[in-house]
Amino acid sequence: MQLFTPLVVTLSQTLLLAPLTRAITIDVNDPNSFKQGAATVASDMMTFYADRDSKLIPGKFDGTWWEGGAMFMGLMQYWHWTGDATWNEQVNSGMVWQAGPNGDFFTSNYSSYLGNDDQAFWGLAAITAAELNYPAVADAPSWLSMAQAVFNEQASRWDDTTCKGGLRWQIYPIQSGYRIKNAISNGALFQIAARLARYTGNQTYSDWAEKIWDWSATTPLLNTSEWHIADTTTPATDCTDHGDIQWTYNYGTYLMGAAYMYNFTNAGTKWKNGVDGLLAKTISLFFPSEYGGKVMSEVACESIDTCDRNQICFKGFLSAWLATTTQLVPYTLGEIKPLLQGSAVAAGKQCTGLSDDAHCGIQWYNPTWDRSSGIEQQMAVLGIFSNNLVFFDGSSSSPNSNYTAPKQPAPLTAGSGGNSTSNPGAGASEAPFDPNAGLMNIGTADRAGAGVLTGVFGLAWIGMLIWIAKDVGE
């Protein structure tokens, strides 16, 4: 009898405590903790991906299209930082399938209802692949040419007929988003142009980057005195009104583009000012002092539980873009490093959901799981875990394992080892963009689909306005 007693105690302790205490523990001095944490979160993320209804269509999520490109971008970064190629085949098939025959991420299944920002996220994934020398796929357009195709098509949609420029959110007049010019569409094209400029050295792209930045700065989308970024503005008011909900990805994309331009222009003053202004504002807005000042938060929706699936993954992008900023603008390292480290440690504590304790929640500032889970939560946490490996230089190995994080180069260029093939003419026809032309080919089924989606966007928009009104009223 006596012999059994200790065993019973041990067993019951295990049963009681295990489900409650497991989390992903990040040790900021141990690269292996980031690698292992990222591997766990990526694997859980890909279980969600494998379980989707539309699993027969590579790269297509249920009910949303843009998130596929965003997730693949995160998995390319994961491969880059850890060397783990487990998911590369799925990345490749999704990227190539959704790029379509023109390599432009504008296939007829989705082109009638998507927004410029949706297409841009796939373009950002493609330029990321080029910069990381992510392995090419045989018999598919090059990664670089895919980004060029997105750039060419979006540049052709630049709209001088209202607000003296700018990209509209959605592409065709029947869409409600056609009546909006938003920060993420313009900021994402700015970022793509800046990255193409640095990668190829082609002046046309840097001219465009500067043009998009300068135009944005004439509107509330980019206020270069306050460094305030409005989410939206409308041609109906000549782009003077502003929808002011603050999102991490809007600040992140303009910051990232400015960092590329800073690096490309060898520390040009204009871009240094942009990096400094936007970085300071990003930190003050999204690393709230009430959470200790080192934990990233999607402040507009997290604490009030209103983040939609889009918004849940935004922090992953800001994580990646801040990490890359430390490479391209090296003097920012000291400021950014503790923020990304603090956020990773905090995010690990959110990963105590079910499914072998690999589901992570949204509220990184909350030390206990917020009881949410989903593919977007995993995307965000994967972003903060894997991109933290930027801070290891190939010499620091972990005391608890023999893992040494490889030293990874900054984003490559054609002149520094990037080998992705350029095709400056990639994308759809050279003809000037006609917003009404694309509608000819849309069948009734597609129109109905577009209507439903637009309705959802419209409702979301009304919801946002009510939310603003409520916020202002309080």
Ligand X SMILES: *[C@@H]1O[C@H](CO)[C@@H](O)[C@H](O)[C@H]1NC(C)=O
- Select the residue interacting with ligand X from 33, 98, 233, 319 (CB under 6 A): 98
Give the span between the Cα atoms of 29 and 31, in whole angstroms.
6
Question: What does the angle CA 138 – CA 105 – CA 460 come to, to the nearest 5 degrees?
Answer: 145
Handedness of CA 434, 436, 440, 443 (dihedral sign): positive
Q: How far is the CB of 221 from ligand X (least distance, A)?
A: 9
Largest CA distance in the chain: 88
Interaction between residue 419 and ligand X (CB under 6 A): yes
Contact between 333 and ligand X by CB under 6 A: the answer reads no
Return d(Cα 42, Cα 45) in angstroms, integer: 5
Contact call for residue 109 and ligand X (CB under 6 A): yes
Range 42-81, binding ligand X (CB under 6 A)? 57, 60
Interatomic CA distance for residues 159 and 103, integer angstroms: 23
Question: Smaller CB distance to ligand X: residue 319 or 420?
Answer: 420
Using rule CB under 6 A, residue 107 touches ligand X: yes
Give the residue, chosen from 424, 435, 438, 449, that forms a contact with ligand X under the rule CB under 6 A: 424
Question: Counting contacts by CB under 6 A, is residue 414 touching ligand X?
Answer: no
Each residue 351-390 as x (binds ligand X by CB under 6 A) or -, in order, gives: ----------------------------------------
**Residue 89 interacts with ligand X (CB under 6 A)?**
no
- Binding of ligand X at residue 273 (CB under 6 A)? no
Q: Which of 420, 427, 450, 453 binds ligand X (CB under 6 A)?
A: 420
Report DSSP letters for 114-160, one per residue: -BHHHHHHHHHHHHHHHHTTPPPPTTS--HHHHHHHHHHHHHHT--T
Please report how close the Cβ of residue 379 comes to ligand X at its closest, in angstroms. 20
- Chain residue at closest Cβ approach to ligand X: 410
Other Cβ atoms closer than 10 A to 391: 18
* Whole-angstrom distance, CA of residue 177 vs CA of residue 173: 8
**Beta-carbon contacts of residue 290 (< 8 Å; ≥ 6 apart):** none
Distance in Å, CB of 329 to ligand X, minimum? 6
List 156, 202, 310, 372, residue binding ligand X (CB under 6 A): 202
d(CA 54, CA 64): 11
Q: Kindly report the CA angle at 408 between 145 and 261, in degrees rounded to 5?
A: 55
Q: How far is CA 242 from CA 107, 232, 289, in A?
A: 32, 6, 26
From 26-34, 172-180, 221-229, 365-373, give the range in contact with ligand X by CB under 6 A: 221-229
Among 172-180, 217-225, 344-352, 466-474, which window interacts with ligand X (CB under 6 A)?
217-225
- 212 contacts: CB under 8 Å, gap ≥ 6: 167, 186, 189, 190, 193
| CB-nearer residue toward ligand X: 61 or 178 | 61
Residues near ligand X (CB under 6 A), total: 31
- H-only helix segments in 217-268: 248-264
Instruction: State yes or no: residue 410 binds ligand X (CB under 6 A).
Output: yes
Question: Binder to ligand X among 133, 176, 366, 372 (CB under 6 A)?
Answer: 133
Q: Which is nearer to ligand X, 303 or 325 (CB)?
A: 325
CB 75 within 8 A of CB 85: no
Binder to ligand X among 20, 267, 462, 466 (CB under 6 A)? 267
User: From the CB of 142, what's the least distance to ligand X, in Å?
Assistant: 6
Which residue, 176 or 412, is less far from ligand X as judged by CB? 412
Q: In the chain, how many H helices and how many E strands?
A: 15, 2
Q: Are 420 and 136 in contact, with CB atoms under 8 Å apart?
A: yes
Nearest C-alpha neighbor of 95 from the set 124, 64, 115: 124
Contacts of 269 (CB under 8 A, 6+ apart): none
Query: Considering the rule CB under 6 A, would residue 423 count as an interface residue with ligand X?
Result: no
Round to whole Å and give the CA distance between 170 and 59: 21
- Hunting for tokens 């204009």 — which residue is that? 270
Q: Please, which residue, 154 or 378, has the CB nearer to ligand X?
A: 154
- Using the minimum distance from each CB to ligand X, give the nearer residue, 383 or 427: 427
- The residue (of 297 and 332) whose beta carbon lies closer to ligand X is 332
Residues making contact with ligand X (CB under 6 A): 57, 60, 97-98, 100, 107, 109, 133, 135-136, 142, 202, 204, 220, 223, 225-226, 263, 266-267, 327-330, 401-402, 410, 419-421, 424
